[in-house]
Structure 1
Amino acid sequence: MMMIMMVMMMVMMENKRKKKKKKKKKKKKKMKKKKKKKKKKKKKKRMMMVMIMIMMMMFTSRHLDCKYMVNVRMC
């Protein structure tokens, strides 16, 4: 169970970083250091949310989890 969670976290982290980088490239010029500090806090909250989401999925149904893993890897 823990191993699956670890793999899920790694895959989701990589996907989120890739998606965020694509969106950020356009906004980076406008964004200043002050706003970056706030965004870091939001990232931590999102990390926690992702953890909770995965935990919920693990307990509710393993089949859903497997499908989600496959979908994430395919992307």
Structure 2
Amino acid sequence: MELSKELEQATWVKSSRSSSNGGECVEVAALSGKRRGVRDSKDSNGPALIFTFGEWGAFVRAVKTGDFDI
């Protein structure tokens, strides 16, 4: 399936950590090939970032270990 069609048909899930009052919302979708799509929920027709299985796993591990805490 063409990637643009797959992104249109994907089930997007809003992050539970997204702010409800500031519009800082991120959505994630599971895609074929164990890839993940990430987009801004305020712009559902805008661009999406696509991560491979390994890239997504590294990101999730870094979040869990606090590598992005400020």
What is the TM-score normalised by the length of structure 2?
A: 0.32
Structure that is richer in helix per residue? 1
The structure in which a higher percent of residues are strand is 2
TM-score by length of 1: 0.30
Structure of higher CA gyration radius: 1
Higher relative contact order (CA 8 A, sep 6+): 1
